Amino acid sequence: MRLPLPGRHIAACLAVAALLSGCTEPNKSKSPPVASERGAQLFKERCAACHPDGGNVINPKKTLHGGVLADHGITTPAGIVARMRTPGPGMTRFDQGTIPDADARLIAEYILATFR
């Protein structure tokens, strides 16, 4: 079935609009994590002994630096908090009683903002 000229024009415009809808700037409302003073203090108290300067004294291949975290699928504060709650071998488990969710999130934001 062939569309009349106005119908083809509308169909073409819709096709172009659909293609261009994916050509927008990334969502800028999602700002990067910010390193708060409280997050820095909590990191120093709870994490720095094993992760000095974002390193890892137990497993030097698993640092807190952005590229390494991303290689292990950790790119958000929630990902870091999940790892704190259910860590791999060699890492202390920090449950909600040890580090409340709000503090864990501050630590995670500090890590992402500081060790990119």
Please report whether residue 2 resides in a domain: no
Please report whether residue 51 resides in a domain: yes
- Structural domain boundaries, residue 45: 37-114
Please report whether residue 60 resides in a domain: yes
Please report whether residue 71 resides in a domain: yes
Kindly report the three-state secondary structure assignment for every residue of the chain.
Answer: CCCCHHHHHHHHHHHHHHHHCCCCCCCCCCCCCCCCHHHHHHHHHHCCCCCHHHCCCCCCCCCCCHHHHHHCCCCCHHHHHHHHHCCCCCCCCCCCCCCCHHHHHHHHHHHHHHCC
CATH number of the domain where residue 56 is located: 1.10.760.10
How do residues 62-92 score in pLDDT, each as one tens digit? 999 999 999 999 999 999 999 999 998 999 9
Please report whether residue 70 resides in a domain: yes
How do residues 45-68 score in pLDDT, each as one tens digit? 999 999 999 999 999 999 999 999
Please report whether residue 95 resides in a domain: yes
Total tally of structural domains belonging to the chain: 1
**pTM higher than the cut 0.85:** no
